[in-house]
Structure 1
Amino acid sequence: MSKKMSLLYLCTGNSCRSQMAEGWTRALKGDQIEVYSAGIETHGLNPNAVNVMAEAGVDISNQKSQHIDEFKDTKIDYVITVCAHAHETCPFFPGDAKVLHVGFDDPPKLSPADASEEVKLDGFRRVRDEIKAFVETLPGSLEQ
């Protein structure tokens, strides 16, 4: 049996995009990929991200917002930055970690602050589905 590839999704606050990516990867590719997520900062788990993932049948409610420093001693094969800020400030990873950028829109910024809850959730749903489509290409798309 071959060893699982290890992958870390990195975002600014580890509250939405990286959390959804971790959840999708665990649900769809958990037999092939050991997955983690972290942030340059920690902002806590966004409840709307939890809700839209649950709508799709993926429970991320037990995941937690983690700081990148928590992974300094973890062997990581791939680091995928999912937001521009994380990509621009991505720390150095020892070893052979390949850093790739696959950007997704920030769900909370997709609707005005005074938008209805349903309109806000629509932004989260769109990003959730875009992340799922990306995860479905793994691990092959990383090895190009």
Structure 2
Amino acid sequence: MNSKKRVLFICAHNSARSPMAEALLRYIAPEQFDAFSAGIQPTPVDSRVLAVLSQLDIPSEGLHSKPLEAFAGQQFDYVITLCDKSAQEYQMMPRGEEVIAWNVEDPQASSKPDAFRHVLSEMNERLKIFVLLKTRPDHQGANHLPLA
């Protein structure tokens, strides 16, 4: 059996999007992935993140904001940036076998009352697809159609 794949989610502050992604991936695919998150200029995790995770019974214990430097020298299978700022500053980030850039709306900058739930829902959809694609048996080789 293959070991778990390591995934690092990065956003500007590691206060909303990346902690949500970390918690979600740990919830939906704990057998396949080890999830981590970090920020370029970390600030504390927004209490609304913890509230929306709690409302949906997604565990959040141990979730806290971390600087990129906390992962210096570590290798990841996937590094997923969640905002333009983190994608642009990738040079200073820990290395990943595959780098994926998702530009996800910042719920902290939104005036919508359900912004955190909306972003969590969007992230859930993206992560379900990510897990499906990255855990397929033929993911390591070329994509091909089965012959009849």
CA contact (8 A) 2:18 2:38 kept: yes
2-structure distance, mates of 1:135, 1:31: 14
Instruction: Work out which of the two has the higher radius of gyration on C-alpha atoms and give 1 or 2.
Output: 2
Is the aligned partner of 1:58 residue 2:58? yes
TM-score by length of 2: 0.84
Q: Which residue does the alignment assign to 2:72?
A: 72
Tell me, in whole angstroms, the C-alpha distance in 2 between the residues paired with 1:92 and 1:140.
Answer: 29
Label 1:93 to 1:67 Cα distance change in 2 as closer, same or farther (>3 A). closer
Q: Which residue of 119, 123, 126 maps to 1:131?
A: 123
TM-score normalized by the length of structure 1: 0.86
Closer/same/farther in 2, CA of residues 96 and 109 from structure 1, 3 Å limit? closer
Consecutive unaligned residues of structure 1, counting only runs of 5 or more, are 112-118
SS of alignment partner, residue 35 of structure 1: strand
The secondary structure found in structure 1 opposite 2:54 is: helix
List runs of 5+ in structure 2 lacking aligned partners.
144-148
Equivalences, count: 136
Structure 1 position 98 matched with structure 2 position 98: yes
Q: Alpha carbon RMSD of aligned pairs, Å?
A: 1.8
CA apart distance, 1:85: 0.8
After TM superposition, which residue ranges in structure 1, 4 or more long, deviate above 4 angstroms?
92-96
C-alpha displacement at 1:72, in angstroms? 1.2
